[in-house]
């Protein structure tokens, strides 16, 4: 009897706690679903195929064979608030796209309103497929607004204006033949270059309309999108913003699936075919003379509503470099290591007829509007998806990709790559006849004649690149690509109307170039380099010859990293002698091409030629070894490390060139801040140092100003600063300092410092409310007094006076004395 009672007690307790346990498990799975559900792959619903190719079985996680079923696991308490992303009304009735997670198969009330926001229709419907509500099939309703509520008597709080869909199009609104829907942009990584390549590639494939979904983008990306949207080209672009008001919109996979449903219904009556791809995916015909548009035009069977393409991965070992986009860094041109084609229905991508689709998945149609519509599997020999996958964080994917078959090197044909490059538009700075520089949009195929029909002379950055008097074949049809112009270039154009008193047009030097040359000359003096001057008519030819010689050295440097040089003693000997001479006499020039070599050489500058010979051979062998690892095993960790180091060096050099061209003043030491003041009638030059905690007076200055008797030697201590430890001899508590016509009371620590008379530190600056005004180059006091900072020549003469050193030793460190 007791056993029965215990059993019944246990059974009742189990039944009481079972609902709570199920509720907890449902919420747990909804919160941690990304750990249990595959982020990249999904099993597609069975569809009728017209390809005779046998479907390849792939190892996928087991899932129910239905349409996007994962939301049924979500507890209702964890679902988003009902939020409408978009809504459409047209010949097939009214459809709503939710941006809320957790409502699949749940009943909600769809409520329609007229233009006066008066409710005209209400119906209980289920959310099916995911994110989609088919409110009404009555095309005659024509609502102006829509709202969705949990209960039919709830007050609508998410009312949304309807987007009207029309089957008839006007001449100005011609139906798109091929529209591209781009998966939502997000993240801070540089996207400008990939976005340009993406848009220009699909334009070449026949796309005439783009839907760009943007969840998060940088300012540079926004500028690019606005440029395309406002351009006068025949390609239309619509930018659709995605907010972050729901949990779904803050999850990449969720907002991607929602975006796909929006893309389908937004284009149902606007586009014949729609491409659904990510930013790093290119659906590419194998015959590069063919296009995706020609591929779709051949599909005359109206039942074919999806073209499904199998995938190949081309591996990217580094992300796109930040900074101005460079055409040479285009992923389609730079990266080549490509996988074997993946099995059927494994990460495929599609081109669809949106009018016949009810639900779209990341890798294929989930549900057609009628069972008669079918999928055509495109054979890999006709076209594939090339996914330019950045490999960081995807090591698990690489192992799976290797199981498909051997990787191979894929190169775009010169024809296609040149067409892509010619489509690339970018901005350059152009000045005509010394007018202010203006940003203009160009392409590599833009000609000199396009810049100005009367151009006779063109400078690019610091050199002449176009001269009509040279007779070298250059003319108005010369393209910017031929002149080596990129987005970093500054172009100076001179026309027949520009005055040239000497009669030699090559004597014309842009005002900006003269300024840059002056800066470069100052920088050269500072670093004890050879002095340079602006090119003149007599020196231009020499400058160009020197530049050509440097270009030749570039070629030699590239060829010396090869096994051929090591195997030919005569070639190696000549290269070694040349490099030894250059490192001994002009290492500062070589440092821009081979910084590692110069750095290692400077560690033992006094080595003999014999010692250098062994050192240099070892260096070449190291570089050859690196190149061979990159070529033979590009997937290895060592190769990736070498590639990343190379990319970093290239980026550093690009930034240096950009800095020298656009910000040459950054290469010159900043003039430190000094002011004139008077103490006890003695003129003193004071160094302003907001980084110093206390103000300091030298013992020599105290003696000149007759303040020796006011030094309180009880305050002797040690001061720690940039130069190490220094002894403080004492303190002057109250010192009358005259600046202009005003008097200020200042305390000073007294030290035996030779390189300065007086240092005004933070304690005095804060006490008197001082402001360092760089715009007016003055020190301003809180009482309205202001005094100018000294010029560099005044500072140098002052330092020479107090330190009694030769002039060449007068330059103090940029950091300045600081305590």
Exposure on the CB side of residue 368, measured as CA atoms within 13 A: 16
CATH topology of 71-164 equal to that of 674-809? no
The alpha carbon torsion through 379, 380, 382, 383 (nearest 10 deg) reads 120
Low-confidence residues of the chain, pLDDT below 70? 1-2, 19-78, 166-173, 231-234, 323-326, 395-396, 422-427, 471-473, 486-488, 502, 512, 515-561, 660-662, 664-665, 667-668, 721-724, 754-755, 800-819
pLDDT at 69: 41
Q: Which CATH architecture has domain 425-531?
A: Roll (3.10)
CB atoms closer than 10 angstroms to residue 93:
15
DSSP state of 247: T
> 312 with 385: CB under 8 angstroms?
yes
Which residue in the block uniquely carries the two structure tokens 């009742």?
A: 12
Q: Which two tokens stand for residue 413?
A: 């044909």
> 813 with 688: CB under 8 angstroms?
no
| Secondary element (H or E) of residue 682 | strand 682-688
pLDDT at 522: 53
pLDDT at 178: 96
Task: Residue 313: name the closest of 289, 288, 278, 287 by CA.
Answer: 278
Which pairing describes strands 383-390 and 311-316: parallel, antiparallel, or unpaired? Answer: parallel
Task: Residue 145: name the closest of 113, 110, 108, 98 by CA.
Answer: 113
Distance CA 70, CA 64 (A): 9
Question: Phi, psi at residue 414, to the nearest 5°?
Answer: -55, -35
Which residue in the block uniquely carries the two structure tokens 């393409």?
A: 309
Q: Which CATH architecture has domain 674-809?
A: Beta Barrel (2.40)
| Secondary element (H or E) of residue 724 | strand 724-739
Strand 145-149: give its sheet, edge to edge.
Answer: 119-126, 107-113, 145-149, 160-161
Distance CA 706, CA 679 (A): 9
Topology (CATH level 3) of domain 176-418: Spore Coat Polysaccharide Biosynthesis Protein SpsA; Chain A (3.90.550)
Distance CA 21, CA 14 (A): 10
Q: Which two tokens stand for residue 798?
A: 């002052």
User: What are the structural domain ranges in the chain?
Assistant: 2-34, 71-164, 176-418, 425-531, 541-632, 674-809
DSSP string, 252-288: HHHHHHHHHHHHHHHTTTTEEEEEEE-TTEEEEESST
Topology (CATH level 3) of domain 71-164: Immunoglobulin-like (2.60.40)
Q: What is the pTM of this model?
A: 0.53
pLDDT, one tens digit per residue, over 728-779 is: 889 998 899 999 988 898 999 998 876 678 999 999 999 999 999 988 889 9
Task: Residue 273: name the closest of 345, 352, 337, 388 by CA.
Answer: 352
Catalytic residues: 689
Distance CA 355, CA 643 (A): 47
| Cβ neighbours of residue 30 closer than 8 Å, sequence gap 6 or more | 73, 74, 75, 78, 102
Distance CA 687, CA 303 (A): 83
Is the peptide bond prior to 129 cis by the omega test (within 30 degrees of 0)?
yes
> 84 with 62: CB under 8 angstroms?
no
Which residue in the block uniquely carries the two structure tokens 């009694």?
A: 804
pLDDT at 177: 95
Rounded to whole angstroms, what are the CA distances from 496 to 351, 460, 504?
54, 18, 12
């Amino acid at each position: 009897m007791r056993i029965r009672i215990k059993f019944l007690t246990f059974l009742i307790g189990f039944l009481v706690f079972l609902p709570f346990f199920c509720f907890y498990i449902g919420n747990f799975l909804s919160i941690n679903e990304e750990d249990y559900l595959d982020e990249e792959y999904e099993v597609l619903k069975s569809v009728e195929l017209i390809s005779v190719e046998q479907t390849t079985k792939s190892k996928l996680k087991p899932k129910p064979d239905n349409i996007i079923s994962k939301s049924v696991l979500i507890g209702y308490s964890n679902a988003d608030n009902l939020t409408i992303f978009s809504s459409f009304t047209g010949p097939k009735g009214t459809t709503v796209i939710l941006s809320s997670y957790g409502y699949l198969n749940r009943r909600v009330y769809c409520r329609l309103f007229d233009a006066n926001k008066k409710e005209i229709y209400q119906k209980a419907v289920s959310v099916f497929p995911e994110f989609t509500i088919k409110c009404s099939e009555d095309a005659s309703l024509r609502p102006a607004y829509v709202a969705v509520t949990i209960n039919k008597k709830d007050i609508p709080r998410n009312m949304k204006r309807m987007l009207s869909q029309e089957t008839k199009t006007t001449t100005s609104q011609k139906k798109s033949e091929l529209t591209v829907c781009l998966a939502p942009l997000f993240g801070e990584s540089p996207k400008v270059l990939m976005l340009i390549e993406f848009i220009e590639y699909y334009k070449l494939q026949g796309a005439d309309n783009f839907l760009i979904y943007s969840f998060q983008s940088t300012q540079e990306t926004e500028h690019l999108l606005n440029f395309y949207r406002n351009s006068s080209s025949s390609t239309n672009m619509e930018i659709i913003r995605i907010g972050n008001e729901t949990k779904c919109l803050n999850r990449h996979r969720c907002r991607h699936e929602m975006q796909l449903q929006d893309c389908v219904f937004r284009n149902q009556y606007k586009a014949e075919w729609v491409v659904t791809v990510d930013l790093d995916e290119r659906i590419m015909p194998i015959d590069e003379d063919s296009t995706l548009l020609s591929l779709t035009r051949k599909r005359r069977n109206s039942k074919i509503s999806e073209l499904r393409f199998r995938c190949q991965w081309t591996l990217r070992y580094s992300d796109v470099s930040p900074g101005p986009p460079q055409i040479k860094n285009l992923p389609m041109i730079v990266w080549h290591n490509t996988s074997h084609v993946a099995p059927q229905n494994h990460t495929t991508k599609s081109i669809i007829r949106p009018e016949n689709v009810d639900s779209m998945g990341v890798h294929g149609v989930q549900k057609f509007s009628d069972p008669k519509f079918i999928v055509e599997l495109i054979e890999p020999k006709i076209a594939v998806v090339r996914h330019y996958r950045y490999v960081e964080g995807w090591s698990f994917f690489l192992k799976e990709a290797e199981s498909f078959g051997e990787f191979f090197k894929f190169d775009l044909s010169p024809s296609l790559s040149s067409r892509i490059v010619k489509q690339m538009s970018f901005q350059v700075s152009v000045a005509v006849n010394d007018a202010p520089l203006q940003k203009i949009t160009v392409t590599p195929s833009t000609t000199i004649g396009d810049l100005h029909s009367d151009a006779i002379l063109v400078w690019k950055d610091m050199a002449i690149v176009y001269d009509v008097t040279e007779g070298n074949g250059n003319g108005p049809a010369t393209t910017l690509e031929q002149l080596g112009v990129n987005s970093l270039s500054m172009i100076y154009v001179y026309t027949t109307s520009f005055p040239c008193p000497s009669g030699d047009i090559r004597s014309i030097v842009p005002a900006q170039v003269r300024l840059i040359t002056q800066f470069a000359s100052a920088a050269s003096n500072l670093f004890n380099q050879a002095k340079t001057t602006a090119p003149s008519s007599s020196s231009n030819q020499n400058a160009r010859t020197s530049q050509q010689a440097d270009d030749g050295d570039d070629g030699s440097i590239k060829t010396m990293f090869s096994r051929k040089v090591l195997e030919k003693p005569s070639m190696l000997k000549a290269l070694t002698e040349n490099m030894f001479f250059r490192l001994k006499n002009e290492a500062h020039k070589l440092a821009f091409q081979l910084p590692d070599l110069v750095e290692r050489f400077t560690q033992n500058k006094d080595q003999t030629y014999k010692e250098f010979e062994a050192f240099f051979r070892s260096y070449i062998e190291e570089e050859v070894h690196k190149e061979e690892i990159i070529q033979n095993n590009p997937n290895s960790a060592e190769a990736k490390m070498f590639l990343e180091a190379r990319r970093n060096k290239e980026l550093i050099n690009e930034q240096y060139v950009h800095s020298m061209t656009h910000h040459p003043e950054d290469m010159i030491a900043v003039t430190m801040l000094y002011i004139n003041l008077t103490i006890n009638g003695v003129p003193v030059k004071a160094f302003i140092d907001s980084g110093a905690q206390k103000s300091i007076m030298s013992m020599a200055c105290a003696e000149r100003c007759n303040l020796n008797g006011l030094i309180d030697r009880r305050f002797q201590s040690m001061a720690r600063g940039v130069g190490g430890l220094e002894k403080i001899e004492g303190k002057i508590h109250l010192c009358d300092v005259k600046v202009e016509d005003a008097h200020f009371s200042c305390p000073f620590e007294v030290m035996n410092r030779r390189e300065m008379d007086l240092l005004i530190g933070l304690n005095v600056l804060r006490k008197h409310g001082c402001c360092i005004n760089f715009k007016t180059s003055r020190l301003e006091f809180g009482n309205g007094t202001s005094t100018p900072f000294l010029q560099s020549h005044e500072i140098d003469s002052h330092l020479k006076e107090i330190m009694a050193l030769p002039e060449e030793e007068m330059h103090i460190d940029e950091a300045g004395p600081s305590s």
